Chain A
């Protein structure tokens, strides 16, 4: 309990075959990863129906990625643990893992072309950067390398949401100052600040300022603004049908999961900014925390529809069950155009 995994062994060792197995068997763990990913994705404030190119840092077994896939986003995931990536590959597109998997160490930086990603998420991985994997490694250098190559591969104004488990305020400071140095603005979002168990930290970052993305985000956060005195009930149900695109593989947990989400809504979030420079920027920005309250308001109505859609999707998917070795079709020419 007292040992933080990153102090016990390097990530690629800690996330070995046994640990990776947990990510296929431990339903509670899977559920938590999903819930966190949904929250992280919410912070990216992507308008509904829009599909983006997203980087998943520490994508592991692909649970987080499957949430991105269900929302129709394209993603590239990177992870240092081969065992975890193998689990993700095993899941494959049938298991909702439709993105691409790259074996690499985020502390080494990465060479994705400039402007590749529209946003980035990272679920429970960032704290690993604060401890040296090997003796020769310098965590500060690794952090700087990570944030600078991240900044370079994002579009201007791209949003990132990284949920992580800081060991203390020093680590938060260590991470955020490195992010600032790379040019990011943002803040720390703390969910359930008063619950020891449910408390979650998200590093919310923006890669520069883009008017377009800010406007876009506003339509997500404050739908009323979009239609003036429009019917917000309508928008809410639309919002939820989008949410329902994400009926998942772990169907049994669905009801529990949505309840959990509701609980998030009810309890509300509390934002905690850090550093003055960050603080100012964050204060002037519409943060996605508001969107959640909106959903809460119409929660009851939505649920039935949610449930039906989930059930439908479940049945549809079950009828389509394919064996892993047949996930590929016969080779054919890509479309008729070329």
Chain B
């Protein structure tokens, strides 16, 4: 699972409609796809993803993963959004890096969603719908 996907996921449990984003990300195992394998870098795609991205949520999440050693800028200025080096780095972080094993915990209801073999388990029980 990619960080871009984490950035779009809210808790979907019944009644949990507020403060249900971003899910707290716990990473047990991660890896980076080889450039040859991963979704190819595309400036227009990155620009688009950047528009959708909740930068604050990404910043908060990355801050909880100190061993990644990443310091994101406070905000994405219009100049930054056009900066090729910035977009390339973002591609690495959002697209090539994969969470293989871990979980996501709802900040509101504490429901935990497992990530196993890279697959996020968002499946609810019938009584959670």
Contact = CB atoms under 8 A, between A and B. Distances in A.
A161 B121 CA distance: 25
Interface residues of A, number: 57
A192 B85 CA distance: 48
Query: Which range holds the interface residue count of chain B?
Result: 35 or more
A112 B91 CA distance: 20
B45 A338 contact: no
B33 A328 contact: yes
B93 A335 contact: yes
A44 to B, nearest CB: 14
Given A89-B118, A93-B39, A109 B12 contact: yes
A92 B38 CA distance: 9
B121 A103 contact: yes
Nearest to A98: B39
A104 B44 contact: no
Contacts of B32: 328-332, 334
Contact of A80 (B7, B52, B123): B123
Contacts of A103: 119-123
Interface in B15-35: 20-21, 30-35
A110 interface: yes
B38 A50 contact: no
Interface in A73-105: 73-74, 76, 78, 80, 82, 85-86, 89, 92-94, 98-105
Interface of B: 1-2, 4-5, 7-12, 20-21, 30-40, 42, 44-45, 48-49, 52, 54, 68-73, 83, 85-86, 88-93, 95-98, 117-124, 126, 129
